């Protein structure tokens, strides 16, 4: 990048304040785009001690010892930062980080139509709570449970469909109002992941 463009870039973003940060996991396509080599063999070295192409010590991933040059960036072991490879799995595998949540959703889903088997009003509540947590509104997400309980006590005897329609209006209105507020503190963000699991597990 030319020096004048760098100065312009710095001037434009020097005083910028991030509004939010979102973390996620790479998709299969994103992983393959970042990958420099496909790992295709469990072997690492030949009988002569040389690294195998497609192995865990493939030189495209970075030098494994001094005197070897990275075939991706052409740097030595001191300057190469290492590169990502990938393994094509023969079958889908659940990310271990999401294992408990996947089990929860499967346990309350219909194996024929795959729909979540709990009342529509409860679905609306859970969606609202997760949306609020995504924005860092921890306290408000917990308070939505009370909003739901109040609606239940005021509308006893209604069918699930009628109750869901009433709850939908109330929850949507409150959620939209809260979303307009400033995101809360870093401490709220830390609590949100714990609450996310609690909200999801509560649907069992």
Whether the pLDDT of residue 37 is over 60: the answer is yes
pLDDT band at 104 (very low <50, low <70, confident <90, very high): confident
Specify the pLDDT at position 159: 80
| Full-model pTM | 0.50
- pLDDT tens across 4-19, in order? 666 666 666 666 666 6
Residues listed for the chain: 204
Q: Where are the chain's structural domains?
A: 22-90, 120-203
Averaged pLDDT for residues 133-137: 79
Was domain 22-90 assigned CATH 4.10.860.120? yes
Specify the pLDDT at position 11: 65
pLDDT band at 132 (very low <50, low <70, confident <90, very high): confident
**169 vs 2: CA distance, rounded Å:** 54
Asked if residues 77 and 68 have their Cβ atoms less than 8 Å apart, the reply is yes
**Quick one: which of 197, 1, 6, 5 has its CA closest to 103?**
197
Averaged pLDDT for residues 131-135: 81
**142 vs 132: CA distance, rounded Å:** 9
Coil vs helix vs strand at 109? strand
Whether the pLDDT of residue 44 is over 80: the answer is yes
- Which residues, in sequence order, are CB contacts of 11 under 8 Å at separation 6+? none
Element (H, E) at 86: strand 85-86
- pLDDT tens across 160-203, in order? 788 888 888 888 888 888 877 665 554 555 666 677 777 777 76
CA distances from 4 to 7, 8, 103 (A): 5, 6, 54
DSSP code, position 59: G
Whether the pLDDT of residue 33 is over 60: the answer is yes
Higher pLDDT, 53 or 163: 53
Task: Name the phi and psi angles at 189, rounded to 5.
Answer: -65, -40
């Amino acid at each position: 990048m030319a020096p004048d463009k760098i100065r312009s870039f710095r001037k434009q973003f020097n005083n910028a304040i991030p509004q939010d940060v979102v973390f996620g996991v790479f998709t299969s396509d994103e992983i393959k785009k970042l990958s420099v080599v496909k790992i295709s063999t469990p072997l690492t070295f030949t009988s002569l001690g040389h690294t195998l192409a497609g192995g865990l010590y493939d030189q495209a991933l970075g030098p494994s010892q001094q005197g070897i040059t990275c075939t991706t960036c052409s740097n030595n072991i001191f300057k190469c930062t290492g590169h990502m490879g990938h393994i094509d799995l023969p079958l889908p595998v659940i990310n271990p980080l999401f294992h408990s949540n996947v089990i929860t959703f499967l346990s309350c889903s219909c194996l024929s139509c795959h729909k979540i088997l709990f009342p529509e009003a409860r679905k609306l509540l859970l969606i609202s709570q997760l949306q609020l947590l995504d924005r860092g509104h921890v306290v408000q997400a917990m308070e939505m449970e009370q909003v739901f309980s109040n609606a239940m006590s005021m509308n006893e005897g209604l069918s699930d469909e009628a109750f869901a329609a009433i709850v939908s209006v109330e929850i949507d209105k409150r959620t939209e109002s809260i979303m307009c507020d400033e995101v809360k503190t870093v401490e709220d963000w830390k609590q949100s992941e714990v609450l996310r699991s609690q909200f999801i597990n509560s649907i069992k």
